[in-house]
Amino acid sequence: MASLKLEHVKKVYDKNVVAVHDFNLEIKDKEFIVFVGPSGCGKSTTLRMIAGLEDISDGTLTIGDRVVNDVEPKDRDIAMVFQNYALYPHITVYENMAFSLRLRKMDNEEVHRRVCQAAEILGITEYLARKPKNLSGGQRQRVAIGRAIVREPQVFLMDEPLSNLDAKLRNQMRAEIILLRKRIDTTFIYVTHDQTEAMTLGDRIVIMKDGYIQQVGTPQEVFETPRNLFVAGFIGSPQMNFLKAKLVKAAGGYQAELYGLKVPLSEEKCALLAKHGAGSQDVILGVRPEHTQLVFDRADNTIEGVLRVNEMMGSELHLHVDLKDGTSVILRIPTLELTEDQRRSLTYGNTLRFTFPERVTQLFDPKSEESLLY
């Protein structure tokens, strides 16, 4: 159990390729941090620097109150779970889990106690005598986690541990990691490219792109107040809709205008806009698919579009709609809210109208792509 501090951490590969720029983050003791981002964003590199598998080109990394830049991985008191499990194929599950303890010259009885305890937590007791090749993917991943928890490390690193599993198993293991986290209360750093995993697991999420941190915050913060276009688009599924809009400054405050829809902005938003010094200008208005509402009974103050695709997801419909300038928008409408007639009218080529509440809109500067409401 320990806190971590990364100050101006930078990773430069040969030929001056910079993988991570100026990474600053403080991770509290017993916190579950998730690094998330598209592939190549530097999240795994950062994790590997924390693990000591990659050199840190610049900056300092502190675990507890010790600067560990030049400390060998084995002396950092960390454990790591790899995406491809990395089990030792020539020894049994028991010996796999005991490996690190035996290297520490731990007493046989103590080794046995810890291995059995970890095996019990993960439900792999009956496989202890098997070799890894005789296990299924999920079981192997459990062994990999077991190998990490017997160590009782200060920091627990996980590098996309679920991405090799099939969808069903992944959901199950995700739930188990949440439970595991409750049982072994320690600092976790978890890397994933899957925003669902990030949202469900993390106390705080670090969203990265091209080696830069885009935003750090709790799942709710990054969902509700994304700092820029990238974060807004990355978090949430289906992706947030981005619509071109005009910001009009009036005496009372601001108003956004788009496709014939006028959205007067709340006082709170106006204050933020004023703080940013926004005038009458072009903006990008973001609205999540699940926050849209279909309008059937009126034509004024709505956005009009042509339905292209209607995806029936069971409890909800995903409607892909083309606006008149060609912008594609996705609407996520709960099935229960529609009458039979309304549902039948939602066929290919039909025109429909929708709107959304002012409360959920996001506004971004089209040039800097930064949020105007942050």
Asked if residue 74 binds other proteins (CB under 8 A), the reply is: yes
Q: Where are the alpha helices (DSSP H) in 61-166?
A: 93-103, 108-122, 137-149
Using CB under 8 A, which of 5, 10, 30, 112 touches other proteins?
112
Can you tell me the distance from the alpha carbon of 48 to that of 41, in angstroms, rounded to the nearest whole number?
A: 13
Residues in the interface with other proteins (CB under 8 A) total: 45
Asked if residue 69 binds other proteins (CB under 8 A), the reply is: no
Residue number with CB closer to other proteins (164 or 171): 164
Report, in Å, the least distance between residue 157 CB and other proteins: 8
Residue number with CB closer to other proteins (140 or 288): 140
Asked if residue 140 binds other proteins (CB under 8 A), the reply is: yes
Asked if residue 152 binds other proteins (CB under 8 A), the reply is: no
Which residues contact residue 35 at a Cβ distance below 8 angstroms, ignoring those fewer than 6 apart?
43, 46, 47, 189, 190, 191, 192, 206, 208
What tokens were used for 331?
């609407």
Closest CA relative to residue 193, chosen from 234, 224, 141? 234
Asked if residue 310 binds other proteins (CB under 8 A), the reply is: no
Residue number with CB closer to other proteins (2 or 373): 2
Residues 253 and 267 sit within 8 Å (Cβ to Cβ) = yes
Report, in Å, the least distance between residue 155 CB and other proteins: 11
Asked if residue 53 binds other proteins (CB under 8 A), the reply is: yes
| Residue whose entry in the numeric block shows the structure tokens 């790899």 | 82
Report, in Å, the least distance between residue 187 CB and other proteins: 15
Cα 21 vs. chain centroid, distance in angstroms? 20
> For the chain, how are helix, strand and coil distributed in percent, rounded to 5?
30, 35, 35
Inter-helix orientation angle 108-122/93-103, to 10°: 130
Can you tell me the distance from the alpha carbon of 156 to that of 58, in angstroms, rounded to the nearest whole number?
A: 23
Tell me the residue type at 313: M
Asked if residue 128 binds other proteins (CB under 8 A), the reply is: yes
Asked if residue 147 binds other proteins (CB under 8 A), the reply is: yes
Closest CA relative to residue 189, chosen from 77, 44, 18? 44
Report, in Å, the least distance between residue 277 CB and other proteins: 49
Using CB under 8 A, which of 86, 184, 338, 346 touches other proteins?
86
Using CB under 8 A, which of 164, 196, 327, 355 touches other proteins?
164
What tokens were used for 170?
């992944």
Using CB under 8 A, which of 3, 59, 82, 343 touches other proteins?
82
HSE (CB half, 13 Å, CA atoms) of 56?
24
Q: Which of residues 200-239 bind other proteins (CB under 8 A)?
A: none
Using CB under 8 A, which of 15, 39, 89, 347 touches other proteins?
89
Asked if residue 340 binds other proteins (CB under 8 A), the reply is: no
Can you tell me the distance from the alpha carbon of 4 to that of 78, in angstroms, rounded to the nearest whole number?
A: 12
Asked if residue 87 binds other proteins (CB under 8 A), the reply is: yes
Report, in Å, the least distance between residue 90 CB and other proteins: 4
Using CB under 8 A, which of 37, 42, 132, 219 touches other proteins?
132
Tell me the residue type at 291: H
CB count within 10 Å of CB 2 equals 19
Asked if residue 129 binds other proteins (CB under 8 A), the reply is: yes
Using CB under 8 A, which of 151, 204, 227, 288 touches other proteins?
151
| Residue whose entry in the numeric block shows the structure tokens 């703080």 | 275
Can you tell me the distance from the alpha carbon of 257 to that of 247, in angstroms, rounded to the nearest whole number?
A: 6
Binding mask 90-109 for other proteins (x = CB under 8 A): xxx-x----xx--xxx-xxx
Cα 125 vs. chain centroid, distance in angstroms? 32
Asked if residue 134 binds other proteins (CB under 8 A), the reply is: yes
Report, in Å, the least distance between residue 95 CB and other proteins: 10
Report, in Å, the least distance between residue 194 CB and other proteins: 17
Closest CA relative to residue 211, chosen from 56, 34, 9, 61? 9
* Site for other proteins, rule CB under 8 A: 51-53, 72-74, 78-80, 82-92, 94, 99-100, 103-105, 107-109, 112, 116, 125-126, 128-129, 131-135, 137, 140, 147, 151, 164
